Amino acid sequence: TDYDLTIGSHTFIEDFETGLIGKQVGTTVDIETKFPDTYQNEELRGKVTVFTITINYIGQKKEGADDTYINRLSKGTYPTMNDFRNALKAEMEKQAEAEYEDRVYDAVINQMVENSQFVTILDEDVKYYEDDMIGYYKEIAEYYGMAMTDVATQLGFSDYDKFLDNCHEEAIKNVKQYMVLQKIVADEKIVVSDEKYTELLNGYMSSTQTTDRESFENMYSKEYLNYCMVNDLALELLVEKAKSNAQ
């Protein structure tokens, strides 16, 4: 919906783009297409499909953008280029602040792990995180019809064994972080009140664009959500102390 397609860009299926040529603005047309035999989604390879398309606008490509273009593209949200620039600047500042916070959190928990002694690390805990990571990439591979060796290569690993070694190392790191946070939760007696639970839950739901609380809780379980929350609160406590000591 409201997508600006450049004819000849090969952004969409070839028949989709060529089928639009010669059609009139303001009309709705049916375009029959065939997905390529090499299409990334195996279920759609070679299949004939009819797309019903409404042509809303046609124009020529030009360098830069003006108020009219931005106003149309944003459906009036940004009447002028200046409005768009200000909104873009605010969004970039918001993203930069979030990225900075993420780096601070990573640095704090990594330092805690480095400065901690681990008497025992359970193999089953490592395997849990390891299987979770590998399973995630297997789902991606299946969706795009790729071999896991190709996925490993695209991730920058020279071979599949290097990919597995990295998953194992990351799993150990995750277990150590989990153990550190759980120790802090126990020592600081961190609990999640009903009010805090609702506040954090709303944040989780917002990040996944979910609005149905019941289905969200059923999907992840209250037990797991509470586990995530106490860990998040423990990490926030660590960061607050780190910032306080740095001042």
**What pLDDT sits at residue 126?**
95
**61 pLDDT higher than 80:** no
Q: Which has more pLDDT, 1 or 136?
A: 136
Cross-strand pairs, 48? 34
pTM, two decimals, is 0.61
Tokens, residue 51: 């797309």
Nearest C-alpha neighbor of 5 from the set 58, 52, 49: 58
Residue 164: is its pLDDT beyond 70?
yes
Q: The tokens of 82 are what?
A: 């200046």
Model pLDDT for residues 146-155, shown as the tens digit of each residue: 889 999 999 9
Output the DSSP codes for 208-229.
TT---HHHHHHHH-HHHHHHHH
Condensed to tens digits (0 to 9), the pLDDT of residues 195-222 reads 999 999 999 999 888 889 999 999 989 9
**Mean pLDDT computed over 85-104:** 93
With bands split at pLDDT 50, 70 and 90, how would you rate the model's confidence at 59? confident
d(CA 34, CA 45): 8
Mean pLDDT of the chain: 90
Say how far apart CA 57 and CA 72 lie, in whole Å.
Answer: 10
C-beta atoms surrounding 166 within 10 Å: 15
* Burial category of 173 from C-beta neighbours within 10 Å (exposed 0-12, middle 13-18, buried 19 and up): middle
- Tens-digit pLDDT profile for residues 5-50: 888 888 888 888 888 999 999 999 999 998 888 887 788 888 999 9
pLDDT at 247 (0 to 100) = 63
The residues that bridge with 29 in the sheet, in sequence order, are 53
Cα–Cα distance, 99 to 228 (Å, whole number): 20
